[in-house]
Structure 1
Amino acid sequence: MDTTASLWQTSDTELVDAHTAVVQRQRQLYAEELRLVAEMESRGVATKLGYSNTPALLMHTARLSRTEARRRIAQAADLYATTTPTGSMIDPVLPQTANVLARGEVGSEHVDVIRKTLANLPHLDAEQRTTAEQVMLTRAAEDDPKALDRFGFRIRDIVDPDGPPPPEEEPKRPARMLRRHIRRDGSMEFKGHLDLESAQLFENLLKPFEKPPPEGNDTRGYAERAGDAFADVLRMAANCPDLPAHNGARTEIAVTLSFEHLKRALDDMVLPGDQQLTAREARLLACDGHILPAVLDGDSKPLDVAVPAYATPAHIRRGLYLRDKGCAFPACDRPGSVCDSHHVAHWAQGGPTEMDNMALLCPHHHRLVHNSEWQIKMIEGRPWFIPPAYVDSSRTPRRNHIHTPIPSAA
């Protein structure tokens, strides 16, 4: 990008590339700042100049808040070697992070997440800590700090799947407990707790029943809806072993288009009832909606009402839940219950409604895939996402590491 040119003369991708380059330089300068702060702290420069400590000095020289000054000093202490007053050298806790920050590949917030994650794993040995830091940096190359923080909860399972040894006298307690009391009027009050598996089952059973009615005139509070849902589940369990399906077929939408529009297959207007919908929007809905395309002739007479073969059957949706476990887009933690099933090769171009051509996407990332240059490629039966060149010039495929399992480090 020509820095002498006016910004309005630059293309969109040039503008994004220029911003990325500036961010990289800022991160490199931040790494240099931390290196200087580490040296100032090691030498005791602040006390030599008459200040009580280094934060007090930085509050005057850099006009930082005391909180921010302390944060940077803590980062510097973990990233760079320091010298004690007795002259002994203390090796850095996160040397790999220091190198990556110096290249401008991660930012200050990434550093905070990595420091916090490893600080919460004090039982790791030196080799495991090195591996954990490397795995976090690999993810940081693609993830924003919030997504990296979510991923950090899995680090122990990756580098130390056995976990710390249990105490010799580990207290035992029941996995499930229920206390109930029948009142004088015959009603019941109860309390208890469930293990993880039973708690998830309980939540899944309640969800279909505790939703407020679509009419919008429900005056019950959340606790009242949950109580009514619990009673409904009990009645269903008593009367029939088959519980109502969750996330089954979607509402059917009849979309009508002229035969001429169908032949052109352009982004012309498609009319569902009295509403206007572009063909692009219709394709987005058709990924997972139960849309019935009706082709009309010039006199608005139906020529054909197609069978919606692309609507995702319940058994395929269940398979997608088991495989993707949630939104398959990199770093997204949205659960499968709120996701659409997206056709990788669009059904309009002959893409089949099969597991090997489907991926779960939350509404936000579903729209992004349809409206941006992100692409999806199925690799070994799983969806991988190819970023646009302005996100990653190498366009290296990425996948979601939050929902999908990652092999343990050797």
Structure 2
Amino acid sequence: MLEELAQAEAAVAGCLGASAWALAEHDLVAALDAAHRLEQRLAAVKLALVRELDGRGSATAQGASSTAVWLRERLHLGVGVARRMVELAATLDAAPAGVRDALAAGSVDVEQVRVIAATVETVHSAAGTEVADKAVGVLVDWAAQFDATQLRRLGTRILDHVAPDVADAAAEAALRADESRATRDRHVTISEQTDGRLRLTGILDPEAATLLRTAIDPLSAPTGPDDTRTSGQRRHDALAEVCRLALRGGELPDHGGDPTQLAVTTSYDGLTRQLGTGALDTGLQLTPEAVRRLACDAAILPAVLGGSGQTLDVGRQRRLVTGPLRRALVLRDQGCAFPGCDRPPRWCDAHHIRHWADGGATSLDNAVLLCGHHHRHLHHSDWSVRLGGDGHPEFVPPTWLDPDRLPRRNQYHRRT
């Protein structure tokens, strides 16, 4: 096998040095088809090797906790990719010979194999070995015309073709099998990046997927013609708002329902000059603007340092705009107070008009409700907010928007 693989590698290396531009179009297409078939055949060899290594326990013998972890290190794969490779190798090993032969022949790809194997397993449970073998032939033929997604959809009614007398009962069994697989495969992976950001990957089962879409879709729409965020950025911000709502709702388990706690460490001079950055207890550094924005509706533990790093003062943890004060704020503002916004109170942060680091008080006359979007906007733009003579918030636009800077108010929430 090693000699054959070495020859194959040499042949492929020779192809890399060939001039594709010199091929006629029909030869170019034929070469693409051949390369694809070769890729699938190599995948069959690779999966057979993975299955043998896994069966021997080679990974654990070399000190790895699992074959997937060993593959991750050996082949420099993501652990999710490695895990799916081990699972597919086991699936292929247990699949009917026709499925393995189809992959070895290069007539199906690994994703189609995954679909065919799962479908055949369901058919075998519902109608027995003979019907399952017939289903393999039908599915492999379909794989020549349809991709894995379409094949999965067609596979839900495979028994209509190979065993119509048990199709209805099997359809229900297939639905239950799909639900079981979705439950088994559900996961969310959170990978911390070096700069403090998180990468989210995962697979949601249908129920969780429906809940997520229902929660974030209304918040993912553009807020207006001036909203320049991409669709991905809008979904990101919508997910953040859903998390804020959950934290603010007070129904999460212990230690989960409080707003973010920030341990803000800065020098005394930096604080008084409003130039200091903030450091979370995780070690992540934040800009002053980010600290101020998060701190508006958070529990704060300020630590002020002298020039030599000596702690001058550590304040007590305080919940800022909560309880009766927040209820009074909701009664006054009725929702996001920014002009033209219709977001309800439950989606809003309590923003300090004069920030706490500047000596601002936690009081009704120093607070205003803002939705997440306008909270960020106020912190990163030249808009300013103040209370008018009647005690209601009014927003002063930047000069480029209104040279006269006439104050504006939210008319959406007015009751009279």
Q: How does the TM-score come out when normalised to structure 2?
A: 0.37
Larger Rg: 2
- Which structure is richer in relative contact order (CA contacts within 8 A, separation 6 or more)? 1
